[in-house]
Homo-oligomer: A and B are copies of this chain.
């Protein structure tokens, strides 16, 4: 079955979304401009980790691994510029996921 890997990926995605804070972060990233200003505009490069951490009210280490989980699930991408890691939604991947959900689930 070539679906075996696809199914495992789906499980990874569902696990990533099965946490209230991570789900909220993914929705927040729909409006990058709602975050505090940064040197590089969030609408272009993504939102700085510090801002996500601040809004979620979690520690820096937790924020970092939350974003790593979302990234491994293919829901966000990370753009490192200087000392900042910027995160934004991977819209093509999310759309593909929506298709996969509609197809298999």
Contact = CB atoms under 8 A, between A and B. Distances in A.
- Chain A: interface size category: 20 to 34
Contact of A11 (B10, B18, B105): B18
A98 B94 contact: no
Interface string A1-15: 000000110110011
Contacts of A19: 11
A101 B98 contact: yes
Interface in A1-43: 7-8, 10-11, 14-15, 17-20, 23-24, 26-27
A47 to B, nearest CB: 17
Contacts of A11: 17-20, 23
Nearest to A94: B105
A69 to B, nearest CB: 12
